[in-house]
Structure 1
Amino acid sequence: MSKQDKNEQEIRETVRTGYRAIAIGQASPCCCSDRSGPADPARLAAAIGYDEEDLANLPDGANMGLSCGNPVAIAALQDGQTVLDLGSGGGFDVFQAGEKVKAAGHVIGVDMTPEMLEKARHNIRQYRERTGLDNVEFRLGEIEHLPVADNTVDVVLSNCVINLSPDKPQVWKEIHRVLKSGGKLSVSDLAILKPLPENVRSMAAALVGCVAGAVLVDETRQMLEKTGFTDIVLTPKQGYIRQMQDWNDPLYREIAESLPAGEKLENYVVSLSIEARKP
């Protein structure tokens, strides 16, 4: 195994371990470290644009506070579409997408953590009871090697996950592979406006919290263009980071305190809405 392969594997294991702990309740989600405080999952979701009615219909525990945007709203999903969600966790975006595409549609969630997959599959029963729909499924897999056939997906969603990958070009290639011609991606992710200090990038907590693996906005555009995507729209949003700091989230406070004197985290990190199409 090469040094690069070893480093990538170590990063994946760090992420897998962190999210396993979140799934079984041994650690707090990165964006809602204090569930009794203002940054609880429901308030966070409402603050970043999720509809209260949609949230109310979710299975209990599907919203784990792991979002940094609302890719479902950006995607403008339609009846009958096939949708793929990368890093689906407890099924938060999958279940909402399922209601949008209705009985004729199909939504696939992919996650690399067996404990998350178990949680999501457990939630399917309540989803069926509340909506009358049977149109979602969850598959175990890494986003760099998706367990999905070529040219079969209308829309790919992802929410604060791609930045965790140690091989982002491969993720974009896989998204391109599974999309139908004319299909689109709708992603909410974290990105950086300028390079983070080394001490922040090397923090394991920051990695699992979706910050250390983020890349420059322009680098994201370059990767999308090189992969073959068109109609690329990147929309940076600084408000999400500002909210995390205002809510005194421990992770974001720890990272902010590690920055050079006088610097603000929002000057480095943004929530990024990513839209593009496969020709």
Structure 2
Amino acid sequence: MSNQEKDQIRQKVRNRYKEIALQGANQSSCCSSSNSCTPSMDFNEVSSQLGYSKQELSSVPEGANLGLGCGNPIAIADLKKGEVVLDLGSGGGFDCFLAARQVTETGKVIGVDMTPEMISRARSNAEKGGFTNVEFRLGEIEHLPVADNSVDVIISNCVINLSPDKQQVFKEAYRVLKSGGRIAISDIVKTTEFPEEIKNNMDEFYASCVSGASTIKELELMLKQSGFIQISIEPKDESREFIKDWVEGSNIEDYIVSSIIKAVKP
């Protein structure tokens, strides 16, 4: 894939999430095509299907939860007080705020997103919620605005599949993590080859968290080549129940599944 093609994909994704950021919870917005969500949908109900508890959903500022994602990375990150957490593709700040409560004021959470409108929304949410240990930085996850060896934990929720250069994402993750640092990610993986209707319409399905998905073997190889060890990728078959609603009539649940991805920097 050429650099121009990669930039075209990033721009398509950026435009999609710009619309979500500006429309917010009053319009359709999920990690799927816009046809699969309705303006009246309950984002808390959507997120509860992804594994978030009622307590988590009630503890974030209004407008932070946009019904995005394919899992709950906070539930698998084992965050500790005082840790520095980095969220790749932080959106409205939902996972950042949950992480901030776990690392407490002695820790720090950094959210990175390539969509200016999402960054503005997240910063506003942080101010509303009084979160002083969270900051949001504009940038691409392939080129993180974060110092070397400065992060304890990297989380992400259904974002890396949207990158046209996933190997570079993992190289950057390795760079910014401290020795012994870890990743705890929820993302989509491809379980079998896509049918022709998806292959022939990759652009439409990319920003919907479908056609950019990699297989488990591909992800394992990219993580190994980046230097990670203790790699674990665990598919969650029950996720097909909510994935089937992402693109109506496409049966995409037959081709992708949400997974828990973990790895450690030596």
Instruction: Report the TM-score when normalising by structure 2.
Output: 0.93
What is the rounded CA distance, in whole Å, between the counterparts of 1:148 and 1:127 in structure 2?
24
Preserved CA contact (<8 Å) 2:83 2:152: yes
SS at match of 2:154: strand
What is the rounded CA distance, in whole Å, between the counterparts of 1:113 and 1:86 in structure 2?
12
What's 1:125 paired with?
127
2:241 maps to a residue whose letter is R
Preserved CA contact (<8 Å) 2:243 2:257: no
1:63 maps to a residue whose letter is N
Deviations 1:179-206 (A, max 9, x none): 0000000000011111212431434342
More deviation, 201-210/69-78:
201-210
SS at match of 1:13: helix
1:179 maps to a residue whose letter is L
What's 2:241 paired with?
242
1:254 Cα offset (Å): 4.0
Aligned 1:246-257 pairs, distance under 5 A? 249=245, 251-256=246-251
Preserved CA contact (<8 Å) 2:156 2:185: yes
Unaligned runs of 5+ in 2: none
Preserved CA contact (<8 Å) 1:238 1:266: no
1:74 Cα offset (Å): 0.2
Over 3 Å counting, the alpha-carbon distance change for 1:142 and 1:271 in structure 2 is same
SS at match of 2:2: helix
What's 2:265 paired with?
278
1:44 Cα offset (Å): 1.7
What is the rounded CA distance, in whole Å, between the counterparts of 1:70 and 1:35 in structure 2?
23
What's 1:138 paired with?
136
Unaligned runs of 5+ in 1: 257-264
Preserved CA contact (<8 Å) 2:109 2:134: yes
Preserved CA contact (<8 Å) 1:35 1:41: no
**Over aligned residues, Cα RMSD in angstroms?**
1.6
1:243 Cα offset (Å): 2.5
What's 1:260 paired with?
none
Aligned 1:218-229 pairs, distance under 5 A? 218-229=217-228
Q: How many pairs align?
A: 259
1:33 maps to a residue whose letter is C
Preserved CA contact (<8 Å) 2:30 2:66: no
Preserved CA contact (<8 Å) 1:30 1:208: no
What is the rounded CA distance, in whole Å, between the counterparts of 1:241 and 1:61 in structure 2?
26
| Structure 1 ranges of 4+ moved more than 3 A | none
Preserved CA contact (<8 Å) 1:238 1:269: no
What is the rounded CA distance, in whole Å, between the counterparts of 1:242 and 1:252 in structure 2?
13
Aligned 1:1-279 pairs, distance under 5 A? 4-25=2-23, 28-31=28-31, 33-37=37-41, 40-128=42-130, 133-201=131-199, 202-245=201-244, 249=245, 251-256=246-251, 265-279=252-266
Preserved CA contact (<8 Å) 1:77 1:101: yes
What is the rounded CA distance, in whole Å, between the counterparts of 1:225 and 1:20 in structure 2?
33
1:100 maps to a residue whose letter is Q
What is the rounded CA distance, in whole Å, between the counterparts of 1:115 and 1:43 in structure 2?
24
SS at match of 1:252: coil
Over 3 Å counting, the alpha-carbon distance change for 1:41 and 1:204 in structure 2 is farther
Preserved CA contact (<8 Å) 2:243 2:253: no
SS at match of 1:219: helix
What is the rounded CA distance, in whole Å, between the counterparts of 1:11 and 1:153 in structure 2?
28
What is the rounded CA distance, in whole Å, between the counterparts of 1:270 and 1:140 in structure 2?
29
